[in-house]
Amino acid sequence: MTQMAFNSFLVVMLAVPVVTLISRQWTKARALPAVLLMGSLGVGIAVAAAGFWRGQRFTVDVAQVASFSFALSVDRLSAFFLLLICSVSLPVILFSSSYIPRHYAGARRHWLWVLLPLFLLSMVLVVTASTPFAFLFGWELMTLFSAGLILIDGDSEQRRHNIFIYLLMMHAGAAAVIGAFLLFLPHASNFAQMRASATLMPPPLRTAVFLLAFAGFGTKAGIVPLHLWLPRAHPIAPSPVSALMSGVMLKTAVYGLVRFAFNFLGGGPSWWGYLVLLAGGVSGLLGVLYAIGEHDLKRLLAYHSVENIGIIYLGLGAALVFTANHAPVRAALALTAALLHCLNHAIFKSLLFLGAGAISDAAHTLDLEELGGLQKRMPLTGTMFLIACCSIVGLPLFNGFVSEWLTFRSFLAASEMTNLSAAIVLPLAAGVLALIGGLAAACFAKVYGVAFLGRPRSREAGSANEVSLPMQAGMGALATACVVIGIFPGLVLRSLGTLTEELLPGALLPPAATSLSSVLPWIALFVLVLVAGIAAFKRAKSLTATWACGLPGLDDRMQYTSTAFSKPLRKVFSQVYKADRTLEVVPGDPPYFPASISYRSVRTTSFEKFLYRPSVDAIVTVALRLRQLQTGNIQIYLLYIFAALIALLMFMRWA
């Protein structure tokens, strides 16, 4: 029965673009694509829930109809990620059902409703594929459809440049992933066989597979130094698409790495884990440090995605180190932490991007320096954005805390190991995670404080109005999920435990992991009672003006700006933000009063200056040298061919 549901889910998703194209002209059927898509996503959630909570399996195999190596199979890991995709996309589509008609008209709207379900379907394909061909098919389609969705928003010169970089890096990553699959190819043709064939591979080959998978999936996930495309591509997409890209698409890369490292290769030497740990720590720190320096809301959120992927990689690295040291119980703890953070990040990052969409809808700007006082004008949106901020910072009673707590506990568990380097490095990684958490708190205090609190800094912010009901409902669903998982984490943890037990042989989720779920509801109840009690007590209040040292009237510009808020932190970490500052003073007639002063500060990340520019220049130089082979003389070309023939003959004779 559920197999039929799965099949129908795929069919309806495919049908939505068709329906959109057909019903283009009927104004009555405006809402049809959205409703249809939400319906199919609902079915998808039910299917994935059956797969994740009850362990049912589904397969769709094209080989039954045509001799094509294209098959889908949903096991527990795929079901978890399918659940992630569908349950996060549903509120996003609900949001878009009202957002898209307000911002896009005519052909652009139709193209959005054509490409969105195809984009979602390609992600579903990636996480449910069971043959390399199906996986790579979905992988490439993900990139193409998301690029198409970005292009719908406009195609100026700057945007096309950013989309080009996005496509380029995604293809480079895909090449690495293809390479990783190719190394399996003579022996295994679908995922079920890869585990067995990996045990027969010699260690250098396994290392090559791991490194290729790490590089390929890392490019997609956005770890430093392969993160360059993230802050260029995510901000220029329409807000719901940014939510999907940041919240869901990055997780498919994590899925790929988990499949390769744990399912196919079954773990490896501990230096793999240290590599992933290093990548995670550096990405986490640099991501949040770059985010602190931003004041464009979407770029800031994009950098935070880099940071959270770093946190996920910290958990994955710990799990790999534990597996290498034959500690499956601790590995289960670390892997559960990483997977739970995938789910949590998908939920609260999508909520943050939807909130950004709501802000741009209401105030028509995403520059933090122009916002302010939005909480009073958009109370519901503001409250839900606050919930998302609390979740991403990892404060208790919200979902981000649970996965960070689990990661901390897995680092603590490392201290009991006999391997000295693991017992030292992993607890120190907890310090890095604490620093990342502290920086994230500072950054989001800035974001929420500057955008929603205080007084409006511009006329648009002052005239913002609450957004429409579907948009609120979409955000509300995600916010509720944040709070529910934050207070009752046991709902998800138990099934995640079963999932990790399947992935890692001999693993068992330690009881310490669930101790949190016994104490959090009590704390939540206590805090709720206390807050309600005190709020009921304090009645008398009277409104005044903000204290301005006795001077009349405070200008709205006399508040802290986002740049000012982050200045102390940027000054302390100044090694990271090497800005090029130019100050030009044009002296006036008496030289003490300048005619004009201009100050310009440009921040290019060090990676662009020291890694990308030189490598691009080197490749271009080599390419120019190789151009000399292209002489244009036909006899030289014939000479090339005959030279190759002679070389082949010699090779066959003497090799």
- Footprint on residues 379-398 left by another protein (CB under 8 A): 379, 382, 386, 390, 393-397
For residues 346 to 375, the per-residue mask of contacts with another protein, x marking binding by CB under 8 A and - elsewhere, is ---------------------------x-x
> Of the candidates 9, 566, 577, 605, which one interacts with another protein according to CB under 8 A?
566
Q: Binding of another protein at residue 405 (CB under 8 A)?
A: yes
Three-point CA angle 53, 54, 59, nearest 5°: 105
Task: Write out the binding residues for another protein, residues 422-461 only, by CB under 8 A.
Answer: 423-424, 427-428, 430-432, 434-435, 437-439, 441-442, 445-446, 448-450, 452-455
> Of the candidates 108, 494, 567, 603, which one interacts with another protein according to CB under 8 A?
567
Q: Binding of another protein at residue 568 (CB under 8 A)?
A: yes
Task: Write out the binding residues for another protein, residues 151-180 only, by CB under 8 A.
Answer: none
| CA torsion through residues 571, 311, 247, 162, sign | positive
Q: In angstroms, rounded to a whole number, what is the distance separating the alpha carbons of residues 193 and 306?
A: 33
Least distance from another protein to the Cβ atom of residue 490, Å: 14
Task: Write out the binding residues for another protein, residues 474-513 only, by CB under 8 A.
Answer: 512
Residue with Cβ nearer another protein (146 or 559): 559
Provide the token pair at 540.
Answer: 């008398």
Half-sphere exposure of 94 (CA within 13 A, CB side): 22
Task: Write out the binding residues for another protein, residues 527-556 only, by CB under 8 A.
Answer: 527, 530-531, 534-535, 537-538, 540-548, 554
How far is C-alpha 156 from the chain's CA centre? 25
Q: Binding of another protein at residue 291 (CB under 8 A)?
A: no
Provide the token pair at 310.
Answer: 């770093």
Least distance from another protein to the Cβ atom of residue 326, Å: 18
Residue with Cβ nearer another protein (254 or 393): 393
- For 54-76, the three-class secondary structure string (H helix, E strand, C coil) is CCCCEEEEHHHCCCCCCEEEECH
Q: Binding of another protein at residue 100 (CB under 8 A)?
A: no
Task: Write out the binding residues for another protein, residues 64-83 only, by CB under 8 A.
Answer: none
Residue with Cβ nearer another protein (58 or 408): 408
Residue with Cβ nearer another protein (273 or 394): 394
- For 560-605, the three-class secondary structure string (H helix, E strand, C coil) is CCHHHHHHHHHHHCCCCCCEEEEEEEECCCCCCCCCEEEEEEEECC
Least distance from another protein to the Cβ atom of residue 307, Å: 14
Q: Binding of another protein at residue 409 (CB under 8 A)?
A: yes
Cis peptide before 552 (omega within 30 of 0): no
| CA torsion through residues 235, 295, 309, 222, sign | positive
Task: Write out the binding residues for another protein, residues 604-623 only, by CB under 8 A.
Answer: none
Task: Count other C-beta atoms under 10 Å from residue 590's C-beta.
Answer: 6
Q: Binding of another protein at residue 521 (CB under 8 A)?
A: no
278: left (phi over 0), alpha (psi -120 to 50) or beta: alpha
Residue with Cβ nearer another protein (572 or 626): 572
How far is C-alpha 333 from the chain's CA centre? 22
Least distance from another protein to the Cβ atom of residue 424, Å: 5
Which residues share a beta bridge with 367?
Answer: 296
Task: Write out the binding residues for another protein, residues 2-21 only, by CB under 8 A.
Answer: none
Amino acid, res. 171: H
Residue with Cβ nearer another protein (511 or 590): 511
Least distance from another protein to the Cβ atom of residue 338, Å: 17
Q: In angstroms, rounded to a whole number, what is the distance separating the alpha carbons of residues 99 and 93?
A: 9
At a CB cut-off of 8 Å and minimum separation 6, what does 384 contact? 351, 355, 472, 475, 476, 478, 479
Q: Do 219 and 169 meet the contact criterion of CB atoms below 8 Å apart? A: yes
Which residue, 639, 458, 652, is CA-closest to 555? Answer: 458
> Of the candidates 63, 107, 491, 564, which one interacts with another protein according to CB under 8 A?
564
Provide the token pair at 206.
Answer: 């396994």
Least distance from another protein to the Cβ atom of residue 227, Å: 22
Residue with Cβ nearer another protein (539 or 625): 539
Residue with Cβ nearer another protein (107 or 527): 527
Least distance from another protein to the Cβ atom of residue 269, Å: 21
Q: In angstroms, rounded to a whole number, what is the distance separating the alpha carbons of residues 109 and 595?
A: 50
